């Protein structure tokens, strides 16, 4: 039986992981530590509240004493670290929070882990798993090979630079102190509980409410999409069979340009509204409610500064060594995700509060209206 501390377990990937783990390992103790920033939502864990083996702690990973007390008091043997500032656009407008949480916060966890698990030189069985991103590797050209675990780091945004720094700290605690760490560098996730500041959930809620769907630049930037359930399964494989000190890249082998992805979501919305009269009643502002194509909402806007052109993950190591392969096909995963948002309207309406609206206004009003257009600049 394991005793897990999951940081950031009220966020998008963290809460999916907690649900996944509890379902697969019902006898394990799971403690979630989350600061409930704008992206953290305790409601995502509501269905677990009644379980005696589950505990939610509202707190900050930068609070080393709190983390040390949890590791000690709960007898934690496995720390899975998701907590982060995670949105690239927010890191461009306000990098300070990214330095604090992603770098200082990760170091705080490492300090607590070292203090607890390596005390007196007598190592208790333990594992520190660090969840990181493909963005640390920088940007690929159209013909470049995908990122492997040996690709040199070249982060381009304050977000990816802060994640790169955290990766290096985790690595150093293994090499210097013998802390048993693993790291996964994952491509873009999507699925249930995705905060609607990121592309896919933002597009879905805007399609439903008939708002403009903002596509940065020429829409030809490429991301490698992975359903969050596959990411959770990959982390499980690493915790169970991964080797301390190793890094594993995780990807979906599902590259898409942003504009193709957005068009796929528009086509899904069109088909779902055609099929289901209840949707036409519930979301009357969507063009699809009037039998018009949602593609009319696509609006090209000013590009993200320093926008990485292409990410792609070579996931052959985790496949060969741990037997992990992503199972969800992109088209199926997008349809399932669209349906999840339709069925969980209360969840996303609940988090699109004042602070969310202020973010949307700040981010998208920076785009001069003359830059809003139906075709990209050539």
Cα–Cα distance, 156 to 320 (Å, whole number): 30
122 class by beta-carbon count within 10 Å (0-12 exposed, 13-18 middle, 19+ buried) = exposed
Q: Quote the tokens at residue 131.
A: 């969840």
In angstroms, what is the minimal distance from the CB of 371 to ligand TDX?
Answer: 13
CB closer to ligand NAD, 149 vs 292: 149
CB closer to ligand TDX, 222 vs 238: 222
Catalytic position from the list 34, 60, 89, 135: 135
Q: What are phi and psi of 282, to 5 degrees?
A: -75, -30
Going by C-alpha positions, the residue among 194, 205, 260 that lies closest to residue 231 is: 194
Q: Give the Cβ contact number of residue 223 at 10 Å.
A: 22
Question: Which stretches of the chain bind ligand NAD, using CB under 6 A?
Answer: 7-8, 10-14, 34-37, 39-40, 60-62, 82-84, 86, 101, 105, 131, 133, 163, 186, 188-189, 195
Catalytic position from the list 137, 159, 248, 311: 159
In angstroms, what is the minimal distance from the CB of 225 to ligand TDX?
Answer: 9
Give me the count of residues in the chain.
378
> Which option in ligand NAD, ligand TDX, none does residue 155 bind, with CB closer than 5 to 8 A by kind?
none
Cα–Cα distance, 166 to 11 (Å, whole number): 19
CB closer to ligand TDX, 86 vs 183: 86
Is residue 159 part of the annotated active site? The answer reads yes
Judge whether 252 and 325 are in contact, CB under 8 Å.
no
Question: Which stretches of the chain bind ligand TDX, using CB under 6 A?
Answer: 86-88, 133, 135, 188, 198-199, 202, 214-216, 221, 223, 258, 304
> Which option in ligand TDX, ligand NAD, none does residue 265 bind, with CB closer than 5 to 8 A by kind?
none
* Cα–Cα distance list, 84 to 12, 40, 71, 113, 286 (Å): 11, 10, 19, 18, 33
Catalytic position from the list 60, 134, 167, 224: 134
> Which option in ligand NAD, ligand TDX, none does residue 131 bind, with CB closer than 5 to 8 A by kind?
ligand NAD
Cα–Cα distance, 180 to 123 (Å, whole number): 10
- Residue number of the CB closest to ligand TDX reads 133
Is residue 135 part of the annotated active site? The answer reads yes
> Which option in ligand NAD, ligand TDX, none does residue 44 bind, with CB closer than 5 to 8 A by kind?
none
Q: Quote the tokens at residue 123.
A: 């190592």
In angstroms, what is the minimal distance from the CB of 45 to ligand TDX?
Answer: 20
Grouping H, G, I as helix, E, B as strand and the rest as coil, residue 149 is coil
DSSP letter, residue 247: E
In angstroms, what is the minimal distance from the CB of 128 to ligand TDX?
Answer: 19
> Which option in ligand NAD, ligand TDX, none does residue 71 bind, with CB closer than 5 to 8 A by kind?
none
In angstroms, what is the minimal distance from the CB of 331 to ligand NAD?
Answer: 18
129, β-bridge pairs: 80, 182
Residues with catalytic roles: 134-135, 159
């Amino acid at each position: 039986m394991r005793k897990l501390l999951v940081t950031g377990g009220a966020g998008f990937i963290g809460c999916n992981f907690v649900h996944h783990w509890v379902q697969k390992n019902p006898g394990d103790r799971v403690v979630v530590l989350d600061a409930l920033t704008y992206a953290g939502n305790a409601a995502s864990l509501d269905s677990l509240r009644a379980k005696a083996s589950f505990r939610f702690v509202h707190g900050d990973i930068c609070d080393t004493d709190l983390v040390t007390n949890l590791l000690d008091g709960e007898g934690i043997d496995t720390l899975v670290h998701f907590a982060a500032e995670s949105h690239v656009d927010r890191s461009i407008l306000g990098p300070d929070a990214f330095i604090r949480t992603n770098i200082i916060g990760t170091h705080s966890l490492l300090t607590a882990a070292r203090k607890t698990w390596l005390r007196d030189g007598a190592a208790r069985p333990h594992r520190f798993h660090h969840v990181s991103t493909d963005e640390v590797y920088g940007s690929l050209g159209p013909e470049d090979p995908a990122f492997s675990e040996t690709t040199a780091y070249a982060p381009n945004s304050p977000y990816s630079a802060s994640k790169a720094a955290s990766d290096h700290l985790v690595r150093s605690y293994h090499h210097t102190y013998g802390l048993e760490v693993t790291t996964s560098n994952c491509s873009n996730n999507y699925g249930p509980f995705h905060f609607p500041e990121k592309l896919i959930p933002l597009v879905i809620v805007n399609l439903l409410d008939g708002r403009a769907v903002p596509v940065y630049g020429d829409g030809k930037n490429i991301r490698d999409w992975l359903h969050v359930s596959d990411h959770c399964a990959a982390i499980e494989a690493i915790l169970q069979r991964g080797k301390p000190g190793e890094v594993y890249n995780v990807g979906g082998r599902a590259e898409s340009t942003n504009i193709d992805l957005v068009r796929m979501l528009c086509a899904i919305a069109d088909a779902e509204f055609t099929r289901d009269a209840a949707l036409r009643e519930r979301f009357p502002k969507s063009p699809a409610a009037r039998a018009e194509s949602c593609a009319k909402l696509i609006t090209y806007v000013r590009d993200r500064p320093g926008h990485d052109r292409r990410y792609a993950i070579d996931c052959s190591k985790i496949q060969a060594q741990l037997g992990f392969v992503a199972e969800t096909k992109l088209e199926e995963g997008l349809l399932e995700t669209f349906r999840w948002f339709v069925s969980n309207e209360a969840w996303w309406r609940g988090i699109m509060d004042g602070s969310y609206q202020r973010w949307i206004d700040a981010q998208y009003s920076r785009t001069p209206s003359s830059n809003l257009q139906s075709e990209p600049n050539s």
